[in-house]
Amino acid sequence: MSDSSISSVRRVIALHPAHRDDIGDLTTRRPLPARQLEQLDPFLFLNHHGPQVYPANNQGLPFGPHPHRGFETVTFILEGSLAHADSAKHQSVIHKGGVQWMTAGSGIVHAEISPPEFLRDGGPLEILQLWINLPARLKMSEPRYVGLQQDSIPAIMLPGGAELNLIAGEWGDTRGPIETLTNVFMSTLKLPAGSREQLPVAPGRQVFLYIVNGDVTVSGEPAKPHQLVELDRDGESIVIEAASDAQLLFGHGDVIDEPVYSHGPFVMNTRDEIVQAVEDYQAGKFGGLSA
């Protein structure tokens, strides 16, 4: 590697381990927010559910109807399946390898639950849910939803042997199927043991890099499963080397740099906007969804 390419590699600022916060019998780890990292603007929150195996005749996921306003949720189904329904009349069942991208915008009620076959038969389950903030000018956007099965997501083989599944943004001549409101790039990355990749990122963009499983080195720093890697925003690339087979969540986005005032399922810029969101939801302005 030349001196110029070395200088362009982003530096690791910190590694943030996920903390356990199980929801009933659902194994849950949360790397963001972390003790020393409130947000990674524009990325607000990540829950890692599983991996675990559900028995037959189980109760499934506990995420019945609930509201959101002011941001986007992105759900990655790594194992199992997930049924989505919302007050904007979207419905889908997404299986292993698929993604759900929902813009809550001005307000929506949605449910993410296990489909009947999973309740009956059980099986492996592993899901990531990421919250991505919206700037003030887009917080009241019309709600929307896209559900993608695995075969709708381009799988790109990288020079070092890794596979990048492109969900949003561009990679070379390939464009991901999700057209985002804020030019977010989002992908999952599978690295075989011994592989090495140098991933480009435009300077100034905030990187979101989470180690789902496997042992890797990021820009020279060893990282382990369930760690969120915080990187500086100066360089033009990230170098990842895999000591074992590994799976990562890799995204980046423009920094919003606005006040964040959140309360439960609402993320706005001021307290008054949160109060308004609660009042609007209680008044039925988000629409309804049966349990």
pLDDT tens-place string over residues 269-289: 999 999 999 999 999 999 887
Pair 133, 87: CB distance under 8 Å: no
Pair 185, 252: CB distance under 8 Å: yes
- The pTM score is 0.95
Sheet with 108-113: list strands edge to edge: 63-68, 108-113, 81-86, 91-95
Residue 289: what pLDDT? 78
Q: What is the 3-state secondary structure (H, E, C) of the chain?
A: CCHHHHHCECCEEEEEECEECCECCECEEEEECECCECCECCEEEEEEEEEEEECCCCCCCCEEEEEEECEEEEEEEEECEEEEEECCCCEEEEECCCEEEEECCCCEEEEEECCHHHHHHCEEEEEEEEEEECCHHHCCCCCEEEEECHHHCCEEECCCCCEEEEEECEECCEECCECCCCCCEEEEEEECCCCEEEEECCCCCEEEEEEEECCEEECCEEECCCEEEEECCCCCEEEEEECCCEEEEEEEECCCCCCCEEECCEEECCHHHHHHHHHHHHCCCCCCCCC
Closest CA to 228 of 239, 242, 218, 241: 218
In terms of DSSP bridges, do strands 185-191 and 246-253 run parallel, antiparallel, or are they unpaired? antiparallel
CA–CA separation, 191 vs 245, rounded Å?
Answer: 6
CB within 8 Å of 121: residues ≥ 6 apart: 56
Residue 3 has pLDDT above 50, yes or no: no
Residue 174 has pLDDT above 80, yes or no: yes
pLDDT digits (tens, 9 = 90+) for 6-55: 459 999 999 999 999 999 999 999 999 998 899 999 999 999 999 999 99
Mean pLDDT score of the chain: 95
Q: Tell me the Ramachandran region of residue 7: left when phi exceeds 0, alpha when psi lies from -120 to 50, beta otherwise.
A: alpha
CA–CA separation, 30 vs 286, rounded Å?
Answer: 28
Token pair in block for residue 255:
């920094």
CA dist 126 → 20, 192, 197, 234, 287 (Å):
15, 20, 25, 33, 30
Residue 7: what pLDDT? 52
Residue 261: what pLDDT? 95
pLDDT digits (tens, 9 = 90+) for 43-102: 999 999 999 999 999 999 999 999 999 999 999 999 999 999 999 999 999 999 999 999
